[in-house]
């Protein structure tokens, strides 16, 4: 049991304003695994005030970027030191298979922290150059008080993808994790405190949607960094627009893998599958639409069905598990609802679709493949957020590109075949923020990541991710004055 009775605000664990709590239950067993106070409006006021004070009067924005980077590096080391424990905690919170948790929920955040720690010594925060009329200093300053809001599916990773660049910029943060995954966020607060982060620079307020809205609209929040559903993203974007608040949005996806007609299936299937049913299908970047040439449709469908049939479904804490339970009963209802919709639309259920017979507890859905899917069907257009694949036939390469682009989303995608040049040519035609050519790597932490279309606004990771938390100021200098920077 991981139990908290206080909130991390202003560098201290302080009493919450109400007695309401979030209980966290294992999605595998239903067991109570932890509890934490639920932050309310009064706690948000306190957290924003602490972040503002740390920004205006604290040492953090006045330290050098390299000094701030050293704190990020320390947190990364601390996470590495308790990697297994953290992986199990997150699997207990939201059901991710523990072997995947260790890699993506724990080591990926350390890579992000290490990357931004390094940028503290190499990024040009100040540049002096000749403008058209005389010398100019362009300086990049912290954006201010940041509201970081994340979903439950990759909680520590998404938290660190915002906290690392925001903190490196010199900004201060109010971090609102999702109600399903507040425990790892509290652990992160402990690690930042242990690493010597000054008081008020990071404040953690587990809270629900309405309190999240209150945070977004708080007049002392300068920037909102949001990851979550497109529905919430539209609302948050509108609220930020009304107040001219800086805002970046990482939203949903319905990405397509294009299998070219010269694909070597034995080689490519192991490259595609980890991104097709990833994190129990609860991943924004999942390749949930599999586009197969009609000439090889049967062979490709059979291969996917066979692979998915053989996936090991089980308790999230079992290292052998490949597909664990969904986060909550609500999510299982949603996924089962889509499986029903797919059948009603005329797609053929080739494997899965039910609940695994050997699991007596937990929010399990069998990994599922639909074949004979048309791209216009709801199961091909809407984000299901569960282990459900749709295999869609196409006529020729142009048709594959058209189908891949026929989506309101544009987050990720991939192309697989014998010829890398041909793949790259396809990649250039797809309207999506990240793409893979015969690759299994959907995110490179040193490169921009984000969405076209309804998948978001702005790019996280790489230097772009840092720029999201910087304001640019141009200082015009007198002739002949070139200050050292």
Active-site annotation holder among 284, 383, 412, 467: 284
Query: Which residue, 142 or 456, has its beta carbon nearer to ligand NAD?
Result: 456
Query: Which residue, 24 or 351, has its beta carbon nearer to ligand NAD?
Result: 24
Among 208, 274, 356, 448, binds ligand NAD (CB under 6 A): 208
Q: Are 185 and 162 in contact (CB under 8 A)?
A: no
CA gap 265, 307 in Å, rounded: 12
Among 29, 35, 99, 229, binds ligand NAD (CB under 6 A): 229
Among 339, 411, 430, 436, binds ligand NAD (CB under 6 A): 411
Nearest residue to ligand NAD, scored by beta-carbon proximity: 212
**What residues numbered 328-387 form the site for ligand NAD, per CB under 6 A?**
383, 385
Query: Which residue, 228 or 352, has its beta carbon nearer to ligand NAD?
Result: 228
> Which positions ≥6 away from 385 have C-beta within 8 Å?
153, 281, 282, 331, 334, 335
**What residues numbered 284-303 form the site for ligand NAD, per CB under 6 A?**
284
As to burial, measured by CB atoms within 10 angstroms (0-12 exposed, 13-18 middle, 19+ buried), residue 57 is exposed
Lookup result for tokens 């040439």: 293
**CB of 95: closest distance to ligand NAD in angstroms?**
13
Which range touches ligand NAD (CB under 6 A), out of 122-130, 189-197, 207-215, 316-324? 207-215
Coil vs helix vs strand at 136: strand
CA gap 3, 250 in Å, rounded: 30
Dmax over Cα atoms in the chain, in whole Å?
A: 78
Among 61, 65, 144, 151, binds ligand NAD (CB under 6 A): 151
Strands 223-227 and 246-250 turn out to be parallel
Query: Which residue, 7 or 71, has its beta carbon nearer to ligand NAD?
Result: 7
Among 28, 153, 171, 186, binds ligand NAD (CB under 6 A): 153
**What residues numbered 248-277 form the site for ligand NAD, per CB under 6 A?**
250-253
CA gap 81, 6 in Å, rounded: 25
Which range touches ligand NAD (CB under 6 A), out of 232-240, 262-270, 348-356, 390-398? 232-240
> Which positions ≥6 away from 266 have C-beta within 8 Å?
none
> Which positions ≥6 away from 29 have C-beta within 8 Å?
315, 361, 362
DSSP string, 192-261: HHHTTPPTTSEEE----HHHHHHHHH-TT--EEEEES-HHHHHHHHHHHHHTT-EEEEE----EEEEE-T
Is position 284 annotated as part of the catalytic site?
Answer: yes
Contact between 10 and ligand NAD by CB under 6 A: the answer reads: no
Active-site annotation holder among 38, 93, 180, 250: 250
Among 60, 115, 116, 152, binds ligand NAD (CB under 6 A): 152
Binding site for ligand NAD (CB under 6 A): 149-154, 158, 176, 178, 208-209, 212-213, 216, 227-229, 232, 235-236, 250-253, 284, 383, 385, 411, 451, 456
Query: Which active-site residues does the annotation give?
Result: 250, 284
């Amino acid at each position: 049991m991981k139990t908290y009775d206080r909130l991390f605000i202003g560098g201290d664990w302080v009493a919450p304003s109400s007695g309401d709590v979030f209980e966290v239950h294992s999605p595998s067993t239903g067991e109570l695994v932890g509890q934490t106070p639920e932050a309310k409006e009064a706690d948000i006021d306190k957290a924003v005030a602490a972040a503002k004070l740390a920004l205006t009067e604290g040492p953090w924005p006045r330290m050098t970027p390299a000094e701030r980077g050293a704190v990020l590096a320390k947190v990364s080391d601390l996470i590495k030191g308790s990697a297994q424990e953290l992986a199990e905690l997150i699997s207990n919170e939201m059901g991710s298979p523990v072997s995947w948790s260790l890699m993506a929920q724990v080591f990926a955040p350390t890579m992000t922290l290490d990357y931004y720690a390094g940028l503290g010594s190499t990024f040009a925060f100040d540049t002096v150059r000749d403008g058209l009329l005389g010398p100019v200093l362009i300086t990049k300053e912290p954006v201010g008080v940041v509201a970081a809001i994340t979903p439950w599916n990759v909680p520590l990773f998404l938290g660190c993808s915002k906290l690392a660049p925001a903190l490196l910029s010199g900004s201060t943060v109010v971090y609102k994790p999702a109600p399903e995954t507040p425990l790892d966020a509290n652990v992160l607060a402990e690690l930042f405190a242990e690493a010597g982060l000054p008081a008020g620079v990071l404040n953690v307020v587990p809270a629900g949607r309405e309190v999240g809205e209150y945070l977004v609209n708080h007049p002392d929040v300068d920037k909102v960094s949001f990851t979550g559903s497109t529905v919430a993203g539209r609302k948050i974007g509108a609220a930020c627009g009304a107040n001219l608040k800086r805002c970046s949005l990482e939203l949903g996806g319905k990405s397509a893998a294009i299998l070219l007609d010269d694909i070597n299936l034995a080689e490519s299937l192991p490259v595609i599958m980890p991104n097709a049913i990833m994190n129990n299908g609860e991943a924004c970047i999942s390749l949930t639409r599999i586009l197969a040439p009609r000439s090889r449709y049967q062979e490709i469908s059979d291969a996917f069905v066979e692979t998915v049939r053989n996936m090991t479904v089980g308790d999230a804490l079992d290292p052998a598990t490949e597909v664990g339970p969904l986060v909550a009963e609500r999510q299982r209802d949603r996924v089962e609802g889509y499986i029903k919709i797919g059948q009603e639309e005329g797609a053929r259920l080739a494997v899965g679709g039910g609940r695994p017979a050997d699991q007596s507890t937990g929010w399990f859905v069998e990994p599922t493949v639909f074949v004979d899917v048309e791209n216009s069907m709801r199961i091909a257009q809407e984000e299901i957020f569960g282990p459900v694949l749709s295999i869609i036939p196409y006529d020729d390469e142009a048709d594959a590109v058209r189908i891949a682009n026929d989506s309101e989303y544009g987050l990720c995608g991939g192309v697989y075949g014998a010829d890398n040049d041909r793949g790259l040519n396809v990649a250039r035609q797809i309207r999506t923020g990240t793409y893979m050519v015969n690759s299994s790597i959907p995110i490179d932490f040193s490169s921009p990541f984000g969405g076209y279309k309804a998948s978001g606004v702005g790019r996280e990771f790489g230097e772009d991710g840092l720029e999201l938390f910087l304001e640019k100021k141009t200082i015009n200098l007198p002739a002949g004055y070139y200050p050292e920077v």
